[in-house]
Amino acid sequence: MSRKLILTILTLTMNIAMVAQDLSEHLFKDRVLIILVDDITNPYLKKQKEELTKNLPGIKERKLITYIATPKAYKKGIRDSGPWYNTTELYETYSARNSDFEIILIGLDGGVKKRETDVFKIDDIFNLIDGMPMRRAEIRNRQN
């Protein structure tokens, strides 16, 4: 087997493992918001990022981690900086493939709680999360 082929296989394996590990590390620890776009120039992506930056303290309080995924790569966070990982795994796993923009909210338990094909308003995200049983328990525990 050629050295180049071995390196390619190792890189692909590592990238797939990173996606699985990245999401599994959030189980019962963080809520995950996955933004799926056909490419990073999608105007809905810009609008969604603007919406999410309206209340960063609220996002942190609700333990909400964001991923952006395209058909070829993904990154963690909404900032323009930061590394992109070349893999199709995250996009292929969550994309309904009938929209060039989709946003998915995954709860602490790892279940999909909401899918949207339009910009998801920050207040709507917070209202949905705040109505979840685990979030209500977090609020109660914080008050005690």
Helix axes 133-143, 122-130, angle to 10 degrees: 80
Average pLDDT over residues 14-33: 70
Residue with the two structure tokens 């120039």: 41
CA distance 70 to 14: 18
- Spell out the domain ranges in the chain: 3-143
74-76, strands of its sheet edge to edge: 74-76, 64-69, 31-37, 101-106, 112-116
Per residue in 123-142, pLDDT (tens digit) is 999 999 999 998 888 888 88
Identify which of 54, 53, 93, 99 has the alpha carbon closest to the alpha carbon of residue 74. 93
- The per-residue pLDDT for range 34-77, each reduced to its tens digit, is 999 999 999 999 999 999 999 999 999 999 999 999 999 999 99
CA distance 68 to 18: 14
Class of domain 3-143: alpha beta
Return the SS3 of 27.
coil
